[in-house]
Amino acid sequence: MTGGPAVRRATVILTVLVLGALPFYLDAFWLRIGLFSLAAAIGAVGLGLLTGSAGQLSLGHAFFLAVGAYGYVWLAGEPGPALPPALAAVLAVLLAGAAGGLFSPVAGRVRGVYLGVATLALVFLGHHVLLTADSVTGGFNGRSVPPLTLGGFGFTADDPELVLLGVPFGAEERLWYLGLALFALTWFTARGLLRGRPGRALTALRDSETAAAVMGVHVARYRSAAFVTSSMYAGLAGVLLALAFRRVVPDYFGLALSVDYLAMIVLGGLGSVAGAAAGAVFVTALPLLMTRYADQLPLVTAPGSADGSVGPTEAARYLYGAAIVLVLLFAPDGLHGLTRRARDRVRRRSPRTTSPDTPTSALPPAEAVRPREHTP
């Protein structure tokens, strides 16, 4: 179909226009859901590179998210070096990558459930450090997040005061565009990695390490590189989460967060950038929406109720847990696979007609389509 690239280009342009216009029509609640979903999508893309493409199970993603979030808070705040916030954000991402690099020798030599157990230890160790290193992390109560500023422009409610088309741009509206830019960076870099030589090497590692080694792939090196890259994406997601939350606390970066990220990439489809993003939106937005509409949903009670009923967060976990079971049973390639099969089915059903501009030379010769005459 000759219109394929044009249709994809038009779809991308339309998507960008719609996402860019949302702050003019949505209130702060929906923009916060979008911000949390964008941050989760960045982290899920990183975990998808490691688990979906390289075949390395990791339960320590929450640890690297915490390194990015607390790294930014400490580097940009006081106590701390009080660096310019933009520089602190970049260094926090590099710090998460360095933490992944320190762990990469283990990731380069261990795989499967053994790597999962090893990364699980990172989560418990990191949570203990966050609670005890009061001078850096603030302990149990956490720390406030310094606002991000770029060239004198602050991603806050009124620094400077900004009104566009009659809509006041506060912190959520400004951070929305920052989140879109960071997600676009994540999207294009991850797709570039997967479509290039590193992506083919990681896929070969996932399918068969022996075959990959025979083809010249340095197994330990590519495993380690995948782990470092995934850690940097997690660090970037942690920075954006910190800016969106405006306060970071240790209890958020626990084992449940790592499990949530695994749910994102399983639901979206392992090895797919778009699938990881879709799974992140589903897993992140579902509990927030159920919290908002808890009084209108059956069998769900508002947060803080003491009648022993199921709260919104627990109900959301039950729902996407059931969704994971259904995906594993009926669509192992996740939402991305379902979308691809539906698109292929539509293409097969669409009639193929000859365009009026098609040159005559492109048509089959008359002898090729003329029915054969039967001779007696």
- Per DSSP, the residues of 329-373 read HH-TTHHHHHHHHHHHHHHHHS-----TT--GGGSPPHHHHSPPP
Q: Is the dihedral of CA 259, 265, 270, 271 positive or negative?
A: negative
Torsion of CA 85, 87, 88, 93, to 10 degrees: 130
What is the distance between the alpha carbons of residues 235 and 229, in angstroms, rounded to a whole number?
A: 10
Q: Is 92 exposed, middle or buried (0-12, 13-18, 19+ CB in 10 A)?
A: buried
Tokens at 25, concatenated: 């029509």
Tell me the pLDDT tens digit for each residue of 194-239.
Answer: 888 888 888 887 887 778 888 888 888 888 888 999 999 999 999 9
pLDDT exceeds cutoff 90 at 128: yes
Quote the pLDDT of residue 163.
75
Quote the pLDDT of residue 352.
53
**What does pLDDT average to over the chain?**
83
Which range among 109-113, 115-119, 310-314 shows the weakest confidence by mean pLDDT? 310-314
What is the distance between the alpha carbons of residues 84 and 336, in angstroms, rounded to a whole number?
A: 40
Quote the pLDDT of residue 79.
85
Mean pLDDT of 238-258: 93
Torsion of CA 312, 247, 60, 263, to 10 degrees: 30
pLDDT exceeds cutoff 80 at 122: yes
Which range among 11-20, 261-270, 283-292, 354-363 shows the weakest confidence by mean pLDDT? 354-363
Tell me the pLDDT tens digit for each residue of 168-201.
Answer: 788 888 999 999 999 999 999 999 988 888 888 8
Which range among 20-29, 169-178, 203-212, 364-373 shows the weakest confidence by mean pLDDT? 364-373
Single out the residue of 106, 96, 118, 90 nearest to residue 46, CA to CA. 96
pLDDT exceeds cutoff 60 at 321: yes
pTM: 0.85
Single out the residue of 117, 123, 112 nearest to residue 54, CA to CA. 112
pLDDT exceeds cutoff 80 at 138: yes
Q: Which amino acid is at 154?
A: G
Q: How many CB atoms lie within 10 A of CB 296?
A: 8
Alpha carbon of 180 to those of 99, 233, 246, 315, 344: distances in Å? 26, 15, 18, 29, 29
**pLDDT band for position 304 (50/70/90)?**
low
